[in-house]
Amino acid sequence: MGRSPCCDENGLKKGPWTPEEDQKLVHHIHKHGHGSWRALPKLAGLNRCGKSCRLRWTNYLRPDIKRGKFSQEEEQTILHLHSILGNKWSAIATHLPGRTDNEIKNFWNTHLKKKLIQMGFDPMTHQPRTDIISTLPYLLALANMTEMMEHHQSWDDQQASMSLLQAETVHLAKLQCLQYLLQQSSNPLNIINSNNNSYDQNTLITNMDQQQQSLSLLNTISNVKQNQIIDNAATSFSDMNIDNDNSQPLHHQNILLPHFLDQVSFNSQSCLNNNEQGQGTIITTNNNNFATVDDETLWININIPSSSSSAPISIIPPNANNPGDASSSTSTTSYGVGGPCSYWSELFFEDPIMHDLS
DNA sequence: AACAGGAGCAACCGCACCACA
DNA sequence: ATGTGGTGCGGTTGCTCCTGT
């Protein structure tokens, strides 16, 4: 009990390593291996404790360490694994060759955590931050009251401020809601698609349960809305802009695209020919796998590889109940196209969703 | 040019776990 | 069963560099 730390011995150096120390350590390990870390410093002629040597070797000097910026792929892997494993940095590191747990931990704390927070997600649970939703109106109201008291605003001004605040709050809540729905729908696929069997079974089962509940919630909330959304996706094609990336709406926020929206199906219903069927894919613009959302609309960019005629075409969004299966969708609003093209399509999220939630 | 504040990262600290005597 | 040494791991600290004023 209460074993003294290995670095308590007097006279042992702490702090940054010098190139000379590094050289001694590397040379010794190359020649003899590290053996007992406690014995190593003396043998290598280092005035350090064994623990310090071990850390320096495993986190910095090891020859197989990959340096430099994390790739997009590595970033996705970390996000995905962290959503399942939590702060198990060493476990996450085993999936990223050449990266140390320390490096991943630092990358998480300095980049990814902030990124998730900025997107409105709780970095620990990977769920939308409900604390913001629940407290935002109160915080805003409080801030507004203080503001009014400080500046003795007229009643009209106060009313105007309150309306502005309400609008702002509703806007934020909508973003949260949309992100929530999309993320809940995509997570089960993340888990199911994982081929790694080393995850803790209980964690997996718990996650699956949660995802099941989330999906039920999604269905409960938006069973009615879902049809409306699918309908809107199809009918709104009349407003689409063709082959023009600049048609992306302004004042929107990027969001992660759920897996079930990776592809949309389409039918080309010519008056003269038999139906043609095919697949269109959600294509990317500036941000890979991102869609954008503004006040009430989820914008996705859809690529349709080719169409043999200018026959009317109907877009069938995937069924959120059964991702990948579009058969139960009946939206058939037509739009004429010829040849490869891409569209910005919009999926509406309307106020009633918010009412349903409250 | 000087300073302050923030970001990034290497290194440290302390606890937990395991193997072994 | 218990104590001890060795190692692994996650959280935290503090130094360095960068950027904005």
Write the secondary structure of chain A as one string of H (helix), E (strand) and C (coil). CCCCCCCCCCCCCCCCCCHHHHHHHHHHHHHHCCCCCCCHHHHHCCCCCHHHHHHHHHHHHCCCCCCCCCCHHHHHHHHHHHHHHCCCHHHHHCCCCCCCHHHHHHHHHHHHHHHHHHCCECCCCCCECHHHHHHHHHHHHHHHHHHHHHHCCCHHHHHHHHHHHHHHHHHHHHHHHHHHHHHHHHHHHHHHHCCCCCCCHHHHHHHHHHHHHHHHHHHHHHHHHHHHHHHHHHHHHHHCCECCHHHCCCCCEEEECCHHHCEEEEEECCCCCCCEEEEEEECCCCCCCEEEECCCEEEEEEEECCCCCCCEEEEECCCCCCCCCCCCCCCCCEEECCCCEEEEEEEECCHHHHHHHC
Same-domain pairing of A44 and A76: no
Same-domain pairing of A51 and A77: no
* pLDDT reported for residue A29: 84
Same-domain pairing of A38 and A92: no
Confirm whether A7 is domain-assigned. Answer: no
Confirm whether A314 is domain-assigned. Answer: yes
* pLDDT reported for residue A244: 30
Q: What angle do CA A161, A165, A171 make, to 5 degrees?
A: 145
* pLDDT reported for residue A291: 43
Confirm whether A213 is domain-assigned. Answer: no
How far apart, in Å, are the Cα atoms of A242 and each of A229, A230, A270?
21, 20, 20
Same-domain pairing of A112 and A49: no
Domain count along chain A? 3
Confirm whether A207 is domain-assigned. Answer: no
Which amino acid residue lies closest to nucleotide B6, measuring CA to C1'? A110
Same-domain pairing of A86 and A37: no
Same-domain pairing of A276 and A249: yes
Confirm whether A92 is domain-assigned. Answer: yes
* pLDDT reported for residue A12: 79
Same-domain pairing of A326 and A236: yes
- Protein-contacted positions of strand C (CB under 7 Å): 3-12, 15-16
- How far, in Å, is the CA of A92 from the C1' of nucleotide B17? 19
Same-domain pairing of A283 and A241: yes
Same-domain pairing of A23 and A111: no
Question: Tell me, what CATH number does A44's domain have?
Answer: 1.10.10
Asked if A304 contacts A313 with a C-beta cutoff of 8 angstroms, the reply is yes
Same-domain pairing of A323 and A277: yes
Same-domain pairing of A353 and A235: yes
Q: Which of A357, A56, A67 is nearest to A184 (CA)?
A: A357
Provide the token pair at A196: 């790694």
- How far, in Å, is the CA of A45 from the C1' of nucleotide B17? 30
Confirm whether A138 is domain-assigned. Answer: no
Asked if A77 contacts A109 with a C-beta cutoff of 8 angstroms, the reply is no
- How far, in Å, is the CA of A18 from the C1' of nucleotide C16? 15
* pLDDT < 50: residue spans in chain A: 1-9, 132-135, 137-139, 142, 145-146, 148-150, 152, 168-358
* pLDDT reported for residue A161: 54
Confirm whether A237 is domain-assigned. Answer: yes
Same-domain pairing of A26 and A108: no
Confirm whether A209 is domain-assigned. Answer: no
**Which residues constitute the domain of residue A106?**
72-118
Q: How far apart are the first and last CA of chain A?
A: 54
C-alpha A223/C-alpha A216 separation (Å) is 10
- How far, in Å, is the CA of A264 from the C1' of nucleotide C19? 45
